[in-house]
Amino acid sequence: MLNQKSPVVTAPREPTFAPSVPPLSTSRKPRRLHVLDGMRLAAAVMVVMYHYMAYGGWPRPVEEIFPETFPIASYGYLGVQLFFLISGFVICMSAWGRPLKDFFVSRVVRLYPAYWFAVIATSVAVAVIPGGRGHLPWNDILTNLTMLQEPLGVAPVDAVYWTLFAELRFYLLFSLLAWWGLTYRRVLLFCCVWGAATILVAPAPPGPLRLLLMPEHSWFFIAGMAFYLMYRFRPNLMLFGVVGVSYCASLAPAIDTYKKLTFLGDRPAWPVLVLLAVFFGLMALVATGKLSGVQWKWLPIAGALTYPLYLLHEFIGWELFRYFSHATPQVSPWALITAVVLGMLALSYLVHRLVERPLGRYLKRHLARI
């Protein structure tokens, strides 16, 4: 997901599956998957462009402001699906061979420092910038600090936080597997069982089980885990089958989401299928080692910007657009959006260096004592 560090590859342990599926060579040197950092930033930029150039946030219809780019930006919401694919891969990789306690600590350290800052910064920005958005009462803001505002029925400080609750549900399900112990067979069984359960609950009305299994998003997490098994233990027909089923099954909820976005106007559905195919194709290249040679030094920095950028961009950006559109109407919308995006990137870097790193180290040091 958007909040993950690009993982470091370690040599696989003795596989617990049939000998017809050979493991990767144990002589393989550890290597950071820089390409995942770049993919995460690309996904974040897609979401940012969707919110800034398609979804709204301006004092007049956004399709009038950006008529050329609006049709393209309107598909940027699919960046979230790419996040979920990457998350399935990275979570499986980062938890392999680690006790459940370490998995829990790593998730807290990675999720909460930047998130706490984002909740506070967004709340202050909405209250201070006269962009027209009303701020939440302080008790709702405090509830948002738990990241559990959605199941508690509290409005979010920023609408993008809904994906974090999806990630938390994935972590909860995956923690059961991590407690059992990660092996090839167990992860593959987990993928198949979750997929089968998804099929059963998908037509059901809203309820606790459907909420937990999240059939709208589960196929992307499942495919991400299958891709990691390919990467760690070499591809095989079974894993390609899991990925293929996941892609085909993910199209139904993806098209359903597309149909609900009626405010974007009449748009063709085929780009949804194509973009998802591209995402799965890129992950297949990662899983088969075809992109392991991508080692550009700037990619880890790009990956570090992704999570803070995602958390901070929407409501703060919209407030700035509304305020400056009225205060300085002579400024070009393109100049304004460029300035806001660059400012968000700079702020994201500062959050990573001054908040995520020191607070993450503090939390890791003290949580490890529990």
- What is the structure's pLDDT at 297? 87
Give CA torsion, residues 114, 1, 192, 78, to 10 deg.
130
- What is the structure's pLDDT at 263? 81
- Backbone CA torsion sign across 335, 336, 340, 343: positive
DSSP 124-192: HHHHHS-SSPPPPPHHHHHHHTTT-TTTTT---SSGGGHHHHHHHHHHHHHHHHHHH---HHHHHHHHH
- What is the structure's pLDDT at 70? 92
pTM assigned to the model: 0.90
Give every CB contact of residue 6 below 8 A, 6+ residues apart in sequence.
32, 33, 34, 36, 37, 40, 90, 299, 300, 303
DSSP 267-286: --SHHHHHHHHHHHHHHHHH
Which amino acid would we find at residue 42? A
- What is the structure's pLDDT at 4? 53
pLDDT tens track of the chain, all 370 residues?
Answer: 455 554 444 444 434 443 344 444 333 433 578 899 999 999 999 999 999 999 878 888 899 999 999 999 999 999 999 999 999 999 999 999 889 999 999 999 999 999 999 999 999 999 998 877 888 999 999 999 999 999 999 999 999 999 999 999 999 999 999 999 999 999 999 999 999 999 999 999 999 999 999 999 999 999 999 999 999 999 999 999 999 999 999 999 999 999 888 888 888 889 999 999 999 999 999 999 999 888 888 899 888 999 999 999 999 999 999 999 888 888 899 999 999 999 999 999 999 999 999 999 999 998 887 7
| Residue 40 · residue 308 · CB < 8 Å | no
- What is the structure's pLDDT at 264? 82
Q: How far apart are CA 115 and CA 345, in angstroms?
A: 16
How many residues does the structure list for the chain?
370
| Residue 159 · residue 315 · CB < 8 Å | yes
Q: How far apart are CA 48 and CA 50, in angstroms?
A: 5
**How far apart are the two ends of the chain, measured CA to CA in Å?**
27
The three-class DSSP label of residue 296 is coil
Between CA 363 and CA 189, with CA 13 as vertex, the angle to 5 degrees is 85
Q: How far apart are CA 165 and CA 111, in angstroms?
A: 11
